Chain A
Amino acid sequence: MSGCELFLRTAAAAARSCRALVAFTASHRALRTSPPSRAFAKELFLGKIEKKEVFPFPEVGQEELNEINQFVAPVEKFFTEEVDSQKIDQEGKIPHETLEKLKSLGLFGMQVPEEYGGLGLSNTMYARLGEIISLDASIAVTLAAHQAIGLKGIILAGSEAQKAKYLPKLASGEHIAAFCLTEPASGSDAASIQTRATLSEDKKHYVLNGSKVWITNGARANIFTVFAKTSIVDSDNSVKDKITAFIVERDFGGVTNGKPEDKLGIRGSDTCEVHFENTRVPVENVLGEVGGGFKVAMNILNSGRFSMGSAVAGMLKKLIEMTTEYACVRKQFNRSLSEFGLIQEKFALMAQKAYVMESMAYLTAGMLDQPGFPDCSIEAAMVKVFSSEGAWQCVSEALQVFGGSGYMKDCPLERILRDTRILLIFEGTNEILRMYIALTGLQHAGRILTARINELKRGNVTTIMETVGQRLRDSLGRTVDLGLTGKLGAVHPTVADSANKLEENVYYFGRTVETLLLRFGKTIVEEQMVLKRVANILINLYGMTAVLSRASRSIRVGLRNHDHEVLLANMFCTEAYYQNLFSLSQLDKYAPENLDEQIKKVSQQILEKRAYICAHPLDRTS
């Protein structure tokens, strides 16, 4: 009990000091970046680097850092000493005491503003805590479902009354929230949502009917953010079905849930179906506007993604510790595993991935913490895609180091591998997010380039000559200088080579985007394989920027082991540079590297027959 209290007190203290700090940093930053600057990722599509956004790497003040560390220590202690991930995985549930402890640590209200009893953490601090929470995937998912999506709607779109009514209890963990969007027939397709809310005759209630599937915290939650179709009378008197978000309490009645789902990973998290049967929801509980649920859902989904970067990085750091120990102890042929090149390679990969995703995550968090609610949804999506794929790859490689023993249930690697697989799927599958990244950027670039492209299409001689001249100069190998390097450049000279690579990539990426828009126009939506490459390039570019920015800062500030950082940064930049060159050349028309036509043909033939159609190698015609 006393330990509990101690935690509570520490949390409260941390929260208090945070408030002051946040207020301070906010005002400080407001002075620095008063003119609203353009989003970094969108500008990349035009072949420009918006330096102000990403250089220098965002920092936190010394006091704030101390506070974070003070806050992080007990949480870390709790996770390493008291949380038994293996038991949680085997029993398929998080023990009650563990949940209580998490509540007392204040982890259920990390981003809830302090006036409602939360910790009111900034995005950067939230990311820092995410590193530790992710040591147990089931707990991380439970907490994320509660606050990154479950109660996020109330913070983002709730009225004062709603916030005052619900947030305090949610922040303390007395109530748990769940986010109910997915339905059997509707994953990302909002138009096929079947749950319906009809206004009662006295216009005081909505009657909610329908079923939602795969709801994390579905059995445990008391407060649900539910999306349902409602009939809206339009301005021109036509009746339309639009989505509305509701805050639904379990006590409203008619809320039942199915049996817990048996999952591959994150087995300790509680996932089940939730059914609403004639649930009466008061009109006050409409979240945002009636018919405005689509925007609410989009905002919630877009806001939560960046934290996956730091969470995965935290997990990878732990993983590297576990794996290095095994590699150094295990002996084969009188040598330890760590002496073999093919094993060493795996550690370089893990370190590099961890470094890049950490840089991306904290850069994004820093951007989000700037005043004026900057729109960093593309950046957040990039962090999510990069970190989830990196996690899967690294865990798989780490398991490979363990060899056969990694495949056994006794080894934690097996559980981590299963847990990691969900990262590629939830919060928007990576395929969908790639479409989002590419299309949002292309929309931005397309608007700005409209005038130019229209002139080219109309056959304006000056513009054409200008473009041809530019292409000619490009093909003759011009050196690109976007002003990252040089005297007093944003990037430290140690990594200037890598910065030049980034500049070159960015410049030609801009050119390629222009060509793509010219070629496909708005029909580019249908060219998913092109879009995938655009997204991949952009993710690489963002990663390069993040590591360059971070490494430059580390050198200049003189952080410990910054030469190691330089190595990692240069390694990643070189790899990404060549990957980008390859993707860019694939995006050319008639590129021999581009196999899209063949790929489409093969898949078409297979899908038509719904089977593998090659004859067996042993078959004969006679």
Chain B
Amino acid sequence: MSWAQASLLARGLCRGWGGICGAALTGAPFSQVPPQAPRGLHCSTAAHHSDSSLVPRPPEPPRRPAKALALHEELFRQAPDGARDKASFVQAVQKFGQHNVHRRGHVDFIYLALRKMREYGVERDLAVYNLLLDVFPKEVFRPRSVLHSIFIHYPRQQECGIAVLEQMENHGVMPNKETEFLLLQIFGRKSYPMLKFVRMKLWFSRFKNINPFPVPRDLPQDPVELARLGLRHMEPDLSARVTIYQMPSSKDLTGVADPTEPHIVGIQSPDQQAALARHNPARPIFVEGPFSLWLRDKCVYYHILRADLLPPEEREVEETPEEWNLYYPMQLDLDYGRSGWDDYEFDIDEVEEGPVFAICMAGAHDQATLAKWIQGLQETNPALAEIPVVFRLAGSTGELLAPSSGLEEPSPPPPEGQEDEEDSQQQRQQQGQS
């Protein structure tokens, strides 16, 4: 019987067992592994709530005595002058190896280390993950017989290995040859961490560049630069020009500018400029917003300058001038058109919207600030002087999203409570895909 068939059978068995054992053993790790092996695929992000995530959650209730965990914590606290960087993290992991020759309590240590990674800013460092995997003792957990591989061998350790891989996945870290080698040494080829590894290898390469509108991984800290990036991200026309209408008056690194002089950055394409010049001054145009835009884990707000759609009777029919092309006829004088067979235009109901003339991102969302933007726009759009501008700014109710924790986003009205990192990350993923 092939291994695959055997493992399928085993899975069925496990599921049955899982039910039993899960009830019997508190926090049985079974439920985590076999039936949802492809959890790593974030196709179903919406349904994927933080409680199903392995990583930041240590096995509850902790089965090890609290003393052991506290000991591990101590390792991380030992860093001189409390520096939290890669070096001190690596040092802590190495110390664990030195102190504990038999690697006692390594699973707990790894879970702890996983949780600490973000604090130390090493959550995207492949070498650190490999170092963590290296904490596992080698050869011990490798299945030695068919039976071993059918019934999960050392499930707690395997699950811990998966947790490491899962955290890598969440931070978009692609495992490398070294990872593969370590996993082979620790768990052997026919193990769940190895399966996870293979799947990561397969799907990461397919999903890595799936977003046609990629956002750089490290976002600029300067709000003006961030606004520039966000505006470019939204504007499809590459000839559009970004203009900084006002620089923030005080530019300390926290980005909290003087509220009287917030930054105002706008974007406008030549086509939009032309459309604005053609706009009938009798019809008002609107400044609307703030609307939110997520760039990775940051939320920025923007405003648009737009007009209502012209009623059909007022639209000018674009007519081709008679004397247009000096060289060849622009239209043929024939009374029959395209035949149905060559007409590939599908009958689509399209919602027509009014034109958008410009977009801006500002440090404050009040009318005074936005009026400055409109003033600045007038320099390149003289027609704007004659068009009435109506400010339709949404109140606090219009903003659903709170700034993500601890970031220096100049505050739009009251945050609705801190969302934890996990959620904001998922939102980021959804935004990124949309």
Do A and B truly interact?
yes
Residues of A within 8 A of B (CB): 181, 188-191, 242-243, 294, 297-298, 301, 428, 432-433, 435-436, 439-440, 442-443, 446-447, 450, 453-454, 457, 517-525, 589, 609-610, 615, 621-622
User: Is the pair B321, A191 in contact by a Cβ cutoff of 8 Å?
Assistant: yes
Cβ of A516 to closest chain B Cβ, rounded Å: 10
B221 contacts A by Cβ under 8 Å: no
A-facing residues in B283-334 (Cβ within 8 Å): 321, 323-334
Contact of B324 among A189, A443, A457 (CB under 8 A): A189
B327 near A519 with CB under 8 A, answer no
Question: CB < 8 Å: which of A191, A294, A523 contacts B337?
Answer: A523
A156 → chain B, closest Cβ, in Å? Answer: 15
A460 CA to B213 CA, complexed, in Å: 53
| CB-defined contacts of B176 to chain A, threshold 8 Å | 622
B238 at the interface (CB under 8 A from A): yes
Q: Which B residues lie within 8 Å of A454 (CB)?
A: 335-336
Please give me the residue from chain A that is nearest to B322 by CB atom: A294
Instruction: Give B148-179 interface residues, CB cut-off 8 Å to A.
Output: 174-176
Say yes or no: A519 contacts B339, CB within 8 Å. yes
Given contacts A190-B324, A589-B342, contact A457 B329 (CB under 8 A): no
Interface of B is mostly: loop
10 interchain pairs (CB within 8 A)? A181-B326, A191-B324, A432-B328, A436-B329, A442-B332, A454-B335, A520-B338, A520-B339, A523-B338, A622-B204
Out of B201, B238, B336, which one reaches A522, CB within 8 Å?
B336
B321 — which chain A residues lie within 8 A by C-beta? 191
B341 partner residues in chain A, CB cutoff 8 A: 519, 589
Taking a contact as CB atoms under 8 Å apart, the answer to whether A298 and B336 are in contact is: no
User: Which residues of B have CB within 8 Å of A524?
Assistant: 332
Q: Which residues of B contact A190 (CB under 8 A)?
A: 323-326
> In the complex, which range does the number of interface residues on chain B fall in?
20 to 34
> Does the CB pair B339–A450 fall under 8 Å?
no
- In the complex, which residues of chain A have a beta carbon less than 8 angstroms from the beta carbon of B204? 621-622
Residues of the A chain whose Cβ atoms lie less than 8 Å from the Cβ of B338: 519-521, 523
CA distance A534 to B133 in the complex (A): 67
Contact B205 A189 (CB under 8 A): no
Check if A622 sits within 8 Å of B326, measured CB to CB. no
Contact for A446 among B205, B324, B334, CB less than 8 A: B334
A436 touching B328 by the CB < 8 A rule?
yes
Cross-chain contact B201 with A622 (CB below 8 angstroms)? yes
Q: How far is the CA of A439 from the CA of B338 in the complex (A)?
A: 16
B211 at interface by CB-CB < 8 Å:
no
With A621-B209, A622-B204, A622-B205 given, is the CB distance from A294 to B326 under 8 Å? yes
Within 8 A of A (CB), among B22-69: none
Which residues of chain B come closer than 8 Å to A525, judged between CB atoms? 329-332
Check if B327 sits within 8 Å of A446, measured CB to CB: no
Distance to closest chain B CB from A540 (angstroms)? 20
Interface of A is mostly: helix
Q: B residues within 8 Å of A by Cβ? A: 174-176, 201, 204-205, 208-209, 238, 321, 323-339, 341-342
In the complex, are the beta carbons of B342 and A519 less than 8 A apart? yes
User: Are the C-beta atoms of B337 and A188 separated by less than 8 Å?
Assistant: no
Given A443-B334, A454-B336, the answer on whether A435 and B327 have CB atoms closer than 8 Å is yes
Separation of A455 and B319 alpha carbons in the complex (Å): 30
Closest B residue to A227 by beta carbon equals B326
User: What is the CA–CA distance of A521 and B335 in the complex, to the nearest angstrom?
Assistant: 8
Min distance, Cβ A441 to any Cβ of chain B, angstroms: 11
Q: In the complex where A436-B327, A621-B174 touch, is A521 in contact with B334 (Cβ < 8 A)? A: yes
- B201 contact set on A, CB distance < 8 A: 622
Q: Which residue of B lies closest to A192 (CB)?
A: B324
Out of A189, A522, A609, A621, which one reaches B334, CB within 8 Å? A522
A615 to chain B, nearest CB (A): 8
Q: How far is it, in angstroms, between the C-alpha of A435 and the C-alpha of B330 when the chains are bound?
A: 9
Contact check: which of B238, B327, B332, B336 meets A453 at CB < 8 Å? Answer: B336
Q: Looking across the interface, which residue of chain A has its beta carbon closest to that of B207?
A: A621
The complex places the Cα of A609 from the Cα of B213 at a distance, in Å, of 11
CA distance A435 to B342 in the complex (A): 21
Q: List A contacts of B174 (CB < 8 A).
A: 621-622
Q: How far is the CB of B317 from chain A (nearest CB, A)?
A: 16
Name which of B204, B329, B336 has the most chain A CB atoms within 10 A of its CB.
Answer: B336
On whether the beta carbons of A191 and B336 are closer than 8 Å, the reply is: no
Residue in A closest to B341 when the chains form the complex, CB atoms:
A519
Taking a contact as CB atoms under 8 Å apart, the answer to whether B205 and A621 are in contact is yes
Report the minimum CB–CB distance from B213 to chain A (whole Å). 11
The winner among A181, A191, A524, A622 for most chain B CB atoms within 10 A is: A622
| 5 tightest Cβ-Cβ pairs between the two chains A and B | A436-B328, A294-B323, A621-B205, A521-B337, A521-B336
20 further contact pairs, Cβ within 8 A, besides A436-B328, A450-B336, A525-B330: A188-B326, A191-B321, A242-B323, A243-B323, A432-B328, A433-B327, A439-B329, A440-B328, A442-B332, A443-B334, A517-B336, A521-B334, A521-B337, A521-B338, A522-B336, A524-B332, A589-B342, A609-B238, A610-B238, A621-B209
Contacts of A615 in B (CB 8 A): 209
Q: How far is it, in angstroms, between the C-alpha of A301 and the C-alpha of B342 when the chains are bound?
A: 35
* A443–B176 alpha-carbon span in the complex (Å): 65
Give chain A residues whose Cβ lies under 8 Å from the Cβ of B325.
188-190
Given A442-B332, A443-B332, A622-B174 in contact, is the A188-B339 Cβ separation under 8 Å?
A: no
Q: Which residue of B lies closest to A294 (CB)?
A: B323
Query: In the complex, what distance in Å separates the CA atom of A191 from the CA atom of B326?
Result: 9
Q: Is the CB of A450 within 8 A of B335?
A: yes
Q: How far is the CA of A522 from the CA of B342 in the complex (A)?
A: 13
- Residues of A near B334 (CB, < 8 A) are 443, 446-447, 450, 517, 521-522
Minimum CB–CB distance from A112 to chain B (whole Å) comes to 24
Q: Which of B204, B331, B334 has the most CB of A within 10 A?
A: B334
* Chain A, Cβ-Cβ closest to B236: A608
Contact A297 B339 (CB under 8 A): no
Chain B, residue nearest A615 (CB): B209
